[in-house]
Amino acid sequence: MATFVLVPGGWHGSWSFEAVVPLLERAGHAVHALTLTGLRPGDDTATVAAANLDTHADDVLRLLDRAHITSATLVGHSYGGMVIAAAADRADGRVSRLVHLDAYVPRHGESCWSLTTERYREAFAAGAASTGYAVRPPDGGDPRRRPHPLASFLQAIRLTGTPAQVRREFVYCSGWEDRTPFAELRTRLRADPDWQVHDLPTRHDAMHEAPEAVAALLLGEGVADASTCR
């Protein structure tokens, strides 16, 4: 039995994995879907303003402690890729697999802000203009989304080096080629023997558009070819 820890992207909560969780549980695995600090319905202004990437990595580490998890598969969607990279680096060997689901894959000193495109940097800045500390959700989309702590997008990650035994996977969603910030990342990781790269022919929120395909990849039933997910 595997233990999955699912980390949502910007503006989202644990609900973003609501269609995937039962598929993993039905296969006999333990699943923990997180809502990060600053994005919980009861979080006050001070909590949102103070939350950064370190805060979110600590959310994951506290879960590992609380649930006594010693061999976790961390799955991060979009911004969540920053979080799982930071958490794995600090987890003292308690992470066995990282899955970046159409997500940022940072190197030491990089941030979500530095890794994304100018289009998204402009959107972050405009979204935080009214408060200075929280980025409002983009127009449209799920009404459950909440303003995202700006500091978590800006903070540079500190990495000492993820242990070599951690299995690393990147899932590239090819259905939004006109806007994705991950095309160059996909090319880089395909050339890196330490990474396995999968393609899904979906838009960014693959968990909603193709939960069965996402679950299959997490369960090791998919292959790195988009044609199998159509």
CATH number assigned to the domain comprising residue 65: 3.40.50.1820
Separation between Cα atoms, residue 132 and residue 126, nearest integer Å? 10
Separation between Cα atoms, residue 155 and residue 73, nearest integer Å? 24
What's the Cα-to-Cα distance from 141 to each of 8, 11, 138, rounded to whole Å?
15, 10, 8
Q: What is the arithmetic mean of pLDDT over 157-161?
A: 93
- Taking 3-state DSSP, the helix, strand and coil percentages for the chain, each rounded to the nearest 5, stand at 35, 15, 45
Residue span of the structural domain in which 29 resides: 3-229
Split into its structural domains, the chain has a count of 1
pLDDT at position 92 over 70: yes
Helix segments in 128-172, DSSP class H: 150-154
**pLDDT per position as a tens digit, 178-207:** 999 999 999 999 999 999 999 999 999 999
Strands (E), 12-107: 30-33, 72-77, 95-101
pTM of the model: 0.95
Separation between Cα atoms, residue 202 and residue 211, nearest integer Å? 10
pLDDT at position 208 over 70: yes
